[in-house]
Structure 1
């Protein structure tokens, strides 16, 4: 048999990943390339260097993909542009060379960027709140945007004063700083686009078409902070519910970037929806209704939500089942896959969950045995994607190779 061309491989992989989401039995179980630091560690490159040298980051990811050959590839998107971040002095993030050692994964530094008294401002005009409050508080060189005029008042002759406000020296300085950082970010995005084209020429699709965050996390992660939003559920539930309606619209806009893509996967990073943060009753009141509403809107646009659950979500599975059949993928990490399959089988595809510790400290045979059990349990009749438990930083190369290779060998549907 002749070797398949890159175009054939590409279309085969896209079809496999569309089929698994739609609960059509694919030719075999798909396997993803689940990593954070791993491709750079594998290539002998520090994350700091990858963040500062876009060509080097691409080269490292090429080496990873060429050797391991998962069905989909994340690429260098998690090697954020250090130069732009330094220009903006991002104050809610630590990264290698900026508060962290050269090869340590990022650390999010949570802060209260919206007070409880500012809920009404956010609800009334979220765009103005983000422009005049969130951006100046997050990026010190953009502090002049605190004087940004409310664009909603520009209509009729309001533009006379509004446009004059844009000429204020503080606003102009902030805009110059934003433009300089934006130019650097443009170079980074250009590198990501170049990498995607290079991968397509090799026959590998990209893992994502857009990123998104559940409405509750949009508010809890970036605006209020964990402690504050958890208190808001008790102290000001009605105001929080009102704000979540606004955040749901933002969620839909964010995810709509996947619309029309060959593989319209929208990855939704679920943070505070696990039972570590809230009760089942709170989840059903504050979290799930808004996430579900947003996902249904994305599904109506032909987008495939991929909900990435990073902790135990066993008690959430019944809620997760309340979606249209064959339209959603749930990545489950610390949840029993047999239980996940029992509840979600025939409704949604599931991905996971080879333990990271097994990939780091086990043997290839250990990994193969675990993967076979996963395929036997969760892969029956399709609807299953092989993946690591959580995003991967460290692993023995032979173990990760075993996970991918055994899936291609044992995960064939006959």
Structure 2
């Protein structure tokens, strides 16, 4: 094995061989201390089921991702604030839920997005509000705070030296604790001993306060993650495999969400199209480097993207083909060459984009649809890629089990033939009903078994 953990001949392997290698790692149980022989058997069964889906073949049954969400917290009188500020209580709630319902529903529930609230406060993070910080303690989740954190005349700075722009301009604007970093001169200025005086900024009180807070952030983060990992470490032991992965975004979304803002980037398509395209190419390279240089690259199976501004209605098809898709495809192509499954969460509806994205080799991408017509998605993409999603989150929260069963059965009829389908909601519901979660599970067990 190479130092990275990948085989020595990795550079000589085809993308198909790399992909097969990564998927086969999902079946590797070395080092897992299963709670029982039955748990080990179920682990291998579920892992193979996932592999079959990604290969767009028929598994033993339709896999199902049950929308547990924050239900374990609510059952114990807790909320998302607890998950972020009192992780011990939150993990205990999920553990209790798993002990009570895990076997019945074949599920291992764990909190999603439970970042350490105290660490985020220490960083003075400005891109989001969260329960206890800008939102009431009983709020259900995060709230993105969009702004213009890069001006139009800074495109050249981003394109010329993205690292310098990030360190001295962007990060100090979105993390209040990093504001003193804006006092730095470019580090490339330091070439001789006469330039060492640039380090004098470290003696300034505001910089020393910033660095001290970094230490506190690290301690808070480690403390929070230690509690989280204790629960997550039980997932495999109880027979539930998980695909190790990384996170990426469409370069247009990175610029439009976090730097320019929606209004500004939409204007940029008309005012500065050439600079926007150059910047998208730069951000694409940053995305590629970030994932492929990860210390966990050898254990990764997939890369997950939340897709935002490419959805139906956000821009014309011509704009999608010009500004949104090429840089995203560049990122995806680079990861596909490394054998990584591309998992795309198409938020909103993506129906007008389906033909455009049907350009990758079979089994290389997985589409998670929010509101897209699943029958149409199956017809256009189903021969080449696996799909999931579309059960309305509102239905799981407000409707009744019979309505849920009827909806899920129709999804199975439309999407299950030929394999490559996972049953799931279009997004994670807030305050789901247990009886509706049970209805999803029971429908899959009744109608989602493949006859071989």
Q: How does the TM-score come out when normalised to structure 1?
A: 0.92
Question: 3-state SS of the aligned residue for 1:45?
Answer: coil
Alpha-carbon distance change, 405 to 346 in structure 1, aligned in 2, over 3 angstroms: same
Deviation per CA, 1:165-216, whole angstroms, max 9, x where unpaired? 5454443332222221122122223333322212111112336522222111
- Aligned positions of 1:172-211 closer than 5 A: 172-206=208-242, 209-211=245-247
Residue 23 of structure 1: aligned partner? 56
Alpha-carbon distance change, 148 to 6 in structure 1, aligned in 2, over 3 angstroms: farther
CA contact (8 A) 2:349 2:371 kept: yes
Deviation per CA, 1:122-158, whole angstroms, max 9, x where unpaired? 1122122111112211122221111234233445658
Residue 122 of structure 2: aligned partner? 87
Structure 1 unmatched runs, 5+: none
CA contact (8 A) 1:212 1:267 kept: yes
Pairwise CA distance, 1:228: 0.7
Structure 2 unmatched runs, 5+: 1-35
2:298 to 243, 246, 260: 260
CA RMSD of aligned residues (A): 2.3
Pairwise CA distance, 1:74: 7.1
CA contact (8 A) 2:311 2:350 kept: yes
Alpha-carbon distance change, 123 to 340 in structure 1, aligned in 2, over 3 angstroms: same
Q: How does the TM-score come out when normalised to structure 2?
A: 0.85
Q: What is the rounded CA distance, in whole Å, between the counterparts of 1:78 and 1:128 in structure 2?
A: 29
Determine if the alignment matches structure 1 residue 216 to structure 2 residue 249: no
Residue 120 of structure 1: aligned partner? 156
Pairwise CA distance, 1:253: 3.4
CA contact (8 A) 2:307 2:345 kept: yes
Alpha-carbon distance change, 188 to 125 in structure 1, aligned in 2, over 3 angstroms: farther
- Aligned positions of 1:66-145 closer than 5 A: 66=99, 67=101, 75-104=110-139, 105-145=141-181
CA contact (8 A) 1:96 1:102 kept: yes
1:344 to 376, 381, 384: 381
Question: 3-state SS of the aligned residue for 2:65?
Answer: coil
Residue 407 of structure 1: aligned partner? 444
CA contact (8 A) 1:123 1:246 kept: yes
Alpha-carbon distance change, 175 to 72 in structure 1, aligned in 2, over 3 angstroms: farther
Alpha-carbon distance change, 158 to 316 in structure 1, aligned in 2, over 3 angstroms: farther
Alpha-carbon distance change, 359 to 134 in structure 1, aligned in 2, over 3 angstroms: same
Pairwise CA distance, 1:73: 5.7
- Aligned positions of 1:377-388 closer than 5 A: 377-388=414-425
- Which region of structure 1 is more displaced relative to structure 2, 146-155 or 122-131? 146-155
Alpha-carbon distance change, 33 to 124 in structure 1, aligned in 2, over 3 angstroms: farther
